[in-house]
Each structure stands twice: as C-alpha cells, then as structure tokens.
Structure 1
C-alpha cells in the first residue's frame, strides 16, 4: 500500500467513490485534467463513501457551524484525493500541492471562511507534510454553491517529473 493511503488508513479515513449527482443532473467536464506534471482538479464537494453528497447542506452562518464546515472541508479533501487517485493511480506521485481555491456557501455577514477551509488544508498537510503539502490558498464566501453544498474546493498539484 502506498504511503499516503497508509496514512489515510491510520487516520481511519476512506476515499469516496466518484460523485453520484442527483437524478437528471449531468456533469460534462473533467474532474481532473493532467498536463504533463501539472494536474488541475475541478471544484469538488463533500462526499459520503458511496459518492453521494454529504449533509448537512446549507450555509455557514445560518445552517452550519464553523466546526461543521471544517469537517465538510475535510470531506472535500477526501473527495479530491479520490479523484486524483483515479486519475494518476498513486497519490504518492504528488510532488507538491500548489494552489487551493476554497469556496464557502455562507451568509453575507459570515467571515470565518479561512477557518472552514482549514479543514482541507490541515488534512493535506497532515498527509503530505510541510514540504509537499504547503499550498497557496484562497478562502472566499459565495452566495450559493451547487446542490446547496457548504464547501467547494478546486486547485492544482504537481507530479514528480
């Protein structure tokens, strides 16, 4: 078993199946695109192990607490890792996490977006360490996100050359 997958198992975490969109919804885009050693991943939301969308759904500052948002951002990290594993075969091929763009479905007065997206960043840093896991990041508020998910994250990683 690869090192990153061993770390996930030690933490009691599992990678979810691909997203199962709601009936009638089509997603006509690639969740991962590989360009040489550059790998871009589309916006991912929090998923259950079977690929269904994780609840609770809704807005931070209204329906979810910062702690719930943090947990949802961790679930997004697992969703991203699942997509990356399916695309590149081995998560240990990732040489660096370069860019993360975190979006938080929130009320206009909610200002703790960074604390929510920390759920993603902390898990990536725990798995990959400072050298490979440290990334640039944005954490912004949005009026709405697809399927009323509370967190969506996109970004980029580099593969070993």
Structure 2
C-alpha cells in the first residue's frame, strides 16, 4: 500500500508548508537525509497553546503531537515530492512545554511516533528524544523536528 493510500485510509489530508516564523527554512536536504525544522502544534490554524502539568493533559498532548506529525508530513512531501521515497524515519525530537514535575513527555510524543508508524510501517520506526522544556515559541504545547532518509 502506498503512503498516500494509508493517509487516505486514516482520513488525513496533508497541509501545505507553513511559512517560517523566523530566520530559518522549513527543511534542508543533504545527500539522502532531509532535516525538517521544528514544527509547533496548531489547532484551528493557530498555535496550540498550553503547558503540561498545568493546563493540558497527556491525552491532549498526544493529539497535539499527532497534529504536528501531520504538518511534518506535509513539509516532507513538499521537500521530496513523493512520500513513497521515504526509506526511513531516522530521528524524531520532541520538545514538550511542561512544568517541572510533569514526567510524561514520552507519552505525549507517542502521538507523533504512533502516527508515523501507522503511515510508514516499519520505515516509520525511529530513534527518538522527548524533552520537557519551560517554554516553546508562541506558547505552543509541543514542537517536533524530524530527520528522514529518502531514496
């Protein structure tokens, strides 16, 4: 099954690449690796604002991380022209806006990791880091970046 068939089965429409909010580009390709800049969680087209351990639950965070993964796939599609060229999702790094006593950053990040696994199958299994941070730009609850190997 193609990646696009899987996306359709999941009811996912890829968004266009968002314009960078500062002095960077949305992706850089060097050789067979594509580095996607951090994407913040958005809800209804605006930053999904919140802090885990204070105003958001882990389940809400999984939904936010899943939304970021969809945006990342939209950017990846723009970068390589065809998601079927993906050889491997190599590394995902997640920044989770959380209080000092919140310890479920890894569970929040599962929202993105699980979706990438559903869409890309074995090629979607990746190395990962999930960090709790005091703040993310625009007050967003989650920011995720991705490294992908392509054919």
* TM bucket, shorter chain: over 0.9
Unaligned runs of 5+ in 2: none
2:35 counterpart SS class: strand
The answer on 1:72 being equivalent to 2:70 is no
- Greater than 6 Å deviation, 4+ residue runs: none
Give the Cα–Cα distance (whole angstroms) in 1 for the partners of residues 92 and 73 of structure 2: 13
8 Å contact from structure 1 (residues 94, 158) kept in 2? yes
After TM superposition, the score normalised by the length of structure 2 is 0.93
Query: What is the CA distance between 1:47 and its match in structure 2?
Result: 3.3
Q: 2:85 aligns with which of 87, 93, 104?
A: 93
Say which structure is richer in strand: 2
Instruction: Please report the RMSD computed on the Cα atoms of aligned residues, expressed in angstroms.
Output: 1.7
Note the 1:1-161 alignment, pairs <5 A. 3-19=2-18, 26-47=21-42, 52-55=45-48, 57-130=49-122, 132-160=123-151
Unaligned runs of 5+ in 1: none
Query: What is the CA distance between 1:20 and its match in structure 2?
Result: 5.7
8 Å contact from structure 1 (residues 117, 139) kept in 2? yes
Give the Cα–Cα distance (whole angstroms) in 2 for the partners of residues 125 and 58 of structure 1: 26
Give the Cα–Cα distance (whole angstroms) in 2 for the partners of residues 141 and 72 of structure 1: 15
8 Å contact from structure 2 (residues 92, 128) kept in 1? yes
1:67 counterpart SS class: helix
2:42 counterpart SS class: coil
8 Å contact from structure 1 (residues 20, 53) kept in 2? no
After TM superposition, the score normalised by the length of structure 1 is 0.88
Give the Cα–Cα distance (whole angstroms) in 2 for the partners of residues 36 and 149 of structure 1: 32
Query: May I ask how many residue pairs the two structures share in their alignment?
Result: 151
